Structure 1
Amino acid sequence: MEAVRGRAPAIAVAVAHGVFSGSLNILLKFLISGRHFGFLTLLQLCTCSAAALGLETLRRLGRVSVPPFGLGLSKEFAAVCVLSTLQSTLTLWSLRGLSLPMYVVFKRCLPLFTLAIGVCVLRNGAPSPGVLAAVAITTGGAVLAGAGDLSGEPWGYATGVLAVVIHASYLVLIQKTSLESRHGPLTAQYAIAVMATPVLLAGAVISSDATAVWSYPGWKDAGVVALFLSSVAIGCAMNFTTYHCTYLNSAVTTSFVGVVKSVVTITVGMLAFDDVAPSALFVGGVAVNTVGSVTYCVVKFFEIKKKNSYEHLEGGGDAAPANLRQAPRAGEAADASSRLTTEKDAAETRGDAAAGDYLAVWRSVRQLRSPEAGGLVRNVEQQSP
């Protein structure tokens, strides 16, 4: 329990990310399929511009600690911005061409791609056998569930696969940026939203979304307006929790959060939409996915517990002896210096070869250095991508 309490903020933001991500998927499916809302670029534009304007207002009021946008921020987050825009675009297009449960099946392959890309990009060592087992079980469940439903459109499956690859690259790049940048997740969202807004505005104009949206008959329905505004607000919250969860945990953990919340999303999708019927393969795949998710949670719990035990040994068990060893070193150095001078003078005045040999040995002994006490935690295996 001590390990869990120490990771409470990371666990809380992971749960929040799962809630916002699942809610957004359901709302978007209602809006796109149920109300035939096809202005996807405009939806992205509103989400990014709302985040940019909101954070800029809070920054000017001094409510958030975010630096003003400039060339430095644009250089740091340009690559993340490109992948973020591609990922959200492909996600919306795949939701249009796939049923909600099948879309979730594709997303459950995210840990596999995130793990593979993370090992290649982050170069922080191979993941533990437990993490590998959890990823393999989860991917097997996704394949099993998807084998029972091939009723989607071909371009929907193509965008689904591409969306998973881009999403995995996006999460790994966020983790890489968090290690190299001095800025936090709120600054990342601010910079990405500011950079993406003009690009999406141009896309909305080119795709005619900016002009055709005014003739959409659904605006007369208060339910459509509520769905649209809710999607924009939850989209902003989901983007922030994506950055925050990846900063505090890892890219693989963020991808597994999506697997955990997929069970609820699938259940709501089957009850709310009639574009897929549950089959034995599908239910079996969901069950295997659940086992994989639980396996990952258990593995990470014991890894965190092991890491905390190492930190306890470093801070409590080794610190006191190290301090005790530090105290006499000053006195020993002074005594050694005085003895060294005495022996050197004796060797020079008497020309005694034995004294010269003793002096050489003493110098060799003084050059020895004890190993650093802080090396224990640094040797602990780094967190998987």
Structure 2
Amino acid sequence: MSVRRIAFVALIYMSFSISIIFSNKLVLTTFKFPSYLLLALIQTLFTFILIQTLCSYRIRSDDFTEVPIKILPLSIFSAVDIVMGIAGTGSLSLPLFTALRRISNVLIMVGEYLLLGTKRSIPIYLSVIVMVIGAVIAAIGDITFDPIGYTYILINNISTTGKALLTKSRLRDYDFSSVELLYFNSLLMLPILFILVYVQCDFTEIIQFEHWLDPLFLLYFMFSCCSAVALNYTLVQCTQYTSALTTSILGVIKNILVTYGGMFVGGDYVYTTLNFTGLTVSTIGAVLYVVYNYKSTQSKSLPTKSRTLIGPLT
């Protein structure tokens, strides 16, 4: 893939990452939609239907019997990831949510080293540690501590790590295309999410939800679903052509906007000096990672005259 194509995919990924976080926040917090599980199910169903409608000709069906064995572990992690991500968005303020999500980068970095053999320079390791230290400081300064919300984020970080590493390995080892992986993953996620919705959801509360006929709510709701499709596709593309950690860090960079813009969305951010300082330290760590990763990429590309925008998998 060319440098321009990688840059375009990265830009689209970050754009839809931002839009889905804000739209999910508005749906769950501002409009108080009663079920994050149903929202996760609808987003996944929307993704599956759209791929089935527009891209079915790009899906191989001759060896479908082997697909569940190859994809099911990824689907389980993906189902947990989307559910906990949406639940965390609704439970915590966006600045704190984004800071705590950066802890997943350390887990991914360790997983890449142990499972994929990826090694990185000391400055890159240190920049990721700065991100995590900032997140810890922000959490200490959080006077609205919600143990359930923090639990959601902890599980979300673990599931994000598993999802990122499994996506990379499935694309590398089983020769799936981005569209095929997204299609089969969505297909296998649906039964898991259907069961969770059936067991956990209060359907009376959902049916009686007061904003079903509100045009603004419907706009945010549909935008959330559309963003989910684009986000999932570009996420797989980024992971396929870069590293799992780099894809995660791209998400961190877009979260710079979410961190500070999110202070004014949802109405649930409470400022404290310690919390704001932690958020800023974590953001500085994200910027340092980009700088060090770019320098590392440039030094590795000089001998072969090959230029890549994002750090290669070594």
Task: Mark yes or no: TM-score above 0.5.
Answer: yes
- Equivalent of 1:38, from 34, 44, 49? 34
Give the match's secondary structure for 1:218: coil
Corresponding residue for 1:364?
none
What runs of 5+ residues in structure 2 fail to find an aligned partner? none
Residue by residue, what CA displacement relative to the aligned partner does 1:106-130 show, whole Å, maximum 9, x if unpaired? 11222111111222222x1532212
Question: Do the aligned partners of 1:42 and 1:210 also contact (CA within 8 Å) in 2?
Answer: no
- Which protein has greater RCO, CA pairs closer than 8 Å, 6+ apart? 2
Quote the residue 1:346 is aligned against: none
Q: For residues 274-293 of structure 1, give each alpha carbon's deviation from its aligned partner in whole angstroms, at most 9, with x where no partner exists.
A: 32233332332233233222
**Post-superposition shift, 1:24?**
0.9
Structure 1 range deviating more: 214-223 or 291-300? 291-300
**What is the distance in 1 between the residues matched to 2:69 and 2:7?**
31
Which whole-Å CA distance do the structure 1 matches of 2:226 and 2:8 have between them? 20
TM-aligned CA deviation for residue 59 of structure 1: 3.4
Q: 1:312 to 1:259 in 2, by over 3 A?
A: closer
Higher mean C-alpha deviation, range 235-244 or range 283-292:
283-292
Work out whether 1:259 is the aligned partner of 2:252: yes
Offset at residue 104 of structure 1 (A): 1.2
Give runs of aligned pairs for residues 10-159 of structure 1, distance below 5 A.
Answer: 10-60=6-56, 62=57, 65-68=58-61, 70-122=64-116, 124-159=117-152
Given that residues 99 and 152 in structure 1 are in contact (C-alpha distance below 8 angstroms), is that contact kept between their aligned partners in structure 2? no
Q: Which runs of 5+ in 1 are unaligned?
A: 314-380
Partner in structure 1 of residue 194 of structure 2: 201
Q: Deviations over 1:292-316 (max 9, x none)?
A: 2222222222222233223249xxx
Match of 2:230, SS state, is helix
Aligned pairs (5 A) from 1:177-256? 177-208=170-201, 212-256=205-249
Which SS does the other structure have where 2:302 is aligned? Answer: helix
Q: 2-side partners of 1:19 and 1:145: how far apart?
A: 25
Residue 88 of structure 1 aligns with an amino acid whose one-letter code is I
Deviation per CA, 1:209-229: give whole Å up to 9, x if none: 556422212102111111111
Q: Matched residues in 2 for 1:80 and 1:227: separation?
A: 28
CA 150–166 in structure 1, closer or farther in 2 if over 3 Å, else same? farther
- Shift in CA distance, 225/136, structure 1 to aligned 2, threshold 3 Å: same
- CA offset digits 1:154-193 (Å, max 9, x no partner): 1111121121121112111111222212112211111111
Aligned to 2:157: 164
Match status 1:306 vs 2:299: yes
Judged with a 3 Å threshold, the aligned counterparts in structure 2 of structure 1 residues 141 and 190 are, in CA distance, closer, same or farther, namely: same
CA contact (8 A) 1:101 1:266 kept: yes
Preserved contact between residue 24 and residue 224 of structure 2 (Cα < 8 Å): yes
Q: Which residue of 2 aligns with 1:282?
A: 275
Native 8 Å contact 1:31 1:37 kept in 2: yes
- How large is the Cα RMSD of the aligned pairs? 2.3
Counterpart-to-counterpart distance in 1, 2:177 and 2:202: 33
Q: C-alpha separation between the residues in 1 aligned to 2:282 and 2:16?
A: 20
Q: In 2, distance between residues paired with 1:294 and 1:250?
A: 18
Task: Give the deviation of 1:240 after TM superposition.
Answer: 1.2
Answer yes or no: is 1:383 the counterpart of 2:298. Answer: no
Deviations 1:255-287 (A, max 9, x none): 111211122112222112332233332332233
Q: Does 1:294 align with 2:224?
A: no
What is the rounded CA distance, in whole Å, between the counterparts of 2:60 and 2:123 in structure 1?
40
8 Å contact kept, 1:205–1:211:
no
Shift in alpha-carbon separation, 1:200–1:211, aligned structure 2, 3 A: farther
Q: Secondary structure at the match of 1:94?
A: helix
Quote the sequence identity (%). Answer: 21
Select the structure of larger CA radius of gyration. 1
Structure 2: distance between partners of 1:250 and 1:23: 23
TM-score by structure 2 length? 0.90
Determine the C-alpha separation between the residues in 2 that align with 1:307 and 1:186: 30
| Letter aligned with residue 21 of structure 2 | N
Deviations 1:227-266 (A, max 9, x none): 1111111111111111111111111111111211122112
- Note the C-alpha offset of 1:152: 2.9
Measure, in 2, the Cα distance between the counterparts of 1:105 and 1:305: 28
3-state DSSP class of the match of 1:216? coil
The alignment of Structure 1 onto Structure 2 pairs a total of residues equal to 309
**Which residue number corresponds to residue 340 of structure 1?**
none
